[in-house]
């Protein structure tokens, strides 16, 4: 029997694609690099079908062929394009309503993201969301690698029993991070991976925050 949202005491949130609607921008930043390399672009549907962590795998799939020497430069190029336009992104519908609703039910919140730590903290503040989160944990660099190990430390820092924690993300890697923490997970199919990529992972999948907000 599935727990009710109000039965949890803490929610761990992914940021990019989960709360922030930035999939379109990541797709455009990727296509800019593909155009410069004289490679064919990917449309948003294809992007959501091939996206995964670590992100270096995506670059291989589209023909950029990163290696130890050029991967850092590719990452910098992507992030420069992304950061220049991230102010155009908006939160997914019902993001703040869900945050407020869960808070009203007694839950606290934190963020666990692959986004570089300082950029994450600055961006949360810019969107006026930092007030919601007692802890934010971003990546150590801009390469968007695995966050499974950080997930275990994140749970330890929270000092909340795993059965009282709900992880909310938008990718299969979020399900992996939740498994590393030993907590329940909900994946929202409005972000970086298509619903077909999320089904069959043994976690709950919803199409939007509206489904979760309706439960409050």
% of the chain residues with pLDDT over 70: 96
* Domain residue limits, the chain: 5-21+90-213, 23-88
Compute the mean pLDDT over every residue in the chain, rounded to the nearest whole number.
93
- The string of pLDDT tens digits covering residues 49-70 is 999 988 999 999 999 988 878 8
| Superfamily, domain 5-21+90-213 | HAD superfamily/HAD-like (3.40.50.1000)
Number of Cβ within 10 Å of residue 192's Cβ equals 26
- The string of pLDDT tens digits covering residues 1-37 is 689 999 999 999 999 999 999 999 999 999 999 999 9
CB 49 within 8 A of CB 43: no
CB 90 within 8 A of CB 21: yes
Sign of dihedral through CA atoms 117, 125, 156, 145?
A: negative
Instruction: Give the Cα separation of 74 and 127 in Å (integer).
Output: 27
Instruction: Give the Cα separation of 141 and 143 in Å (integer).
Output: 6
Instruction: Give the Cα separation of 165 and 183 in Å (integer).
Output: 6
Closest CA relative to residue 209, chosen from 18, 12, 16, 49: 18
What's the angle, vertex CA 128, arms to CA 123 and CA 132, rounded to 5? 100
Of 67-81, 161-175, 187-201, which range is least confident?
67-81
Query: What is the CA 68 to chain-centroid distance, rounded?
Result: 25
């Amino acid at each position: 029997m599935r727990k009710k949202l109000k039965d949890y005491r803490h929610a761990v949130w992914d940021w990019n694609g989960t709360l922030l609607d930035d999939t379109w921008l990541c797709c455009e930043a990727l296509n800019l690099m593909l155009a410069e390399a004289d490679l064919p672009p990917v449309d948003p549907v294809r992007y959501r079908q091939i996206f995964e962590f670590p992100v270096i795998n995506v670059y291989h799939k589209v023909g950029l062929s990163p290696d130890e020497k050029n991967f850092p430069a590719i990452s910098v190029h992507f992030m420069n394009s992304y950061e220049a336009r991230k102010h155009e992104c908006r939160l997914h519908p019902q993001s703040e309503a869900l945050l407020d609703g869960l808070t009203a039910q007694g839950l606290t919140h934190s963020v666990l993201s692959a986004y570089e730590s300082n950029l994450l903290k600055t961006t949360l503040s810019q969107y006026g969301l930092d007030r919601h989160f007692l802890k934010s944990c971003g990546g150590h660099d801009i390469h968007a690698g695995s966050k499974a190990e950080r997930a275990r430390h994140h749970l330890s820092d929270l000092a909340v029993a795993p059965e009282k924690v709900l992880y909310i993300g938008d990718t299969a890697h979020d399900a992996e991070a939740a498994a590393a923490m030993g907590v329940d997970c909900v994946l929202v199919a409005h972000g970086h991976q298509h619903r077909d990529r999320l089904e069959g992972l043994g976690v709950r999948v919803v199409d939007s925050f509206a489904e979760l907000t309706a439960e409050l």
